[in-house]
Amino acid sequence: METIMATVEYVGGLRTRATHLKSGDTITTDAPTDNQGKGEAFSPTDLVSSALSSCMMTIMGQVAQREGVELKGLKTEVVKIMSANPRKIAEIKITFTHPDLQATDVQKQKLKNAAITCPVALSLSESLKQTITFNF
């Protein structure tokens, strides 16, 4: 049986509001300044790029728990590169940094493998370049 997990409403002015039904959390999107918007919130393409990072971190967290590795403090910088014609995300660059990751080389490789095989990474088009850097 399918379950509705979210609703999204167009609220005007090139903005939407998504509501996660189980938690009630909301996310507002705004068109970016380079595409007629005010850029006052995440754009939909910002969310896709950020979702890739969040998904990678979540799957890495699962591996870290199994391996007894403390992942708290892991951060990413996310860069989204758009193409003009057609307008779409051409590349997402994600740089992972952990100031003091205590893990073996084998554990680090497991974390990296988990990241690049997360569900969002595997769901995006093969034409979307994913450039992932790990600084740990």
Residues 79, 96: contact at Cβ < 8 Å? no
Range of the structural domain that residue 24 is part of: 6-35
The verdict on residue 121 lying in a domain is yes
Number of domains present in the structure of the chain: 2
pLDDT digits (tens, 9 = 90+) for 51-110: 999 999 999 999 999 999 999 999 999 999 999 999 999 999 999 999 999 999 999 999
Question: Which pLDDT does position 119 carry in this prediction?
Answer: 98
How would residue 3 be classed by pLDDT, with cut points 50, 70 and 90?
very high
Global pTM reads 0.94
Tens digit of pLDDT for each residue in 26-55?
999 999 998 999 999 999 999 999 999 999
Structure tokens at 63: 């591996």
Q: In this structure, are 28 and 92 located in the same domain? A: no
Complete DSSP assignment for 41-87: SB-HHHHHHHHHHHHHHHHHHHHHHHHT---TT-EEEEEEEEEETTE
**Same domain flag for 20 and 86:** no
User: Which residues, 6 or more positions from 40, have their beta carbon under 8 angstroms from its beta carbon?
Assistant: 30
Question: Do residue 85 and residue 18 come from a single domain?
Answer: no
Paired residues of 96 in beta bridges: 76, 134
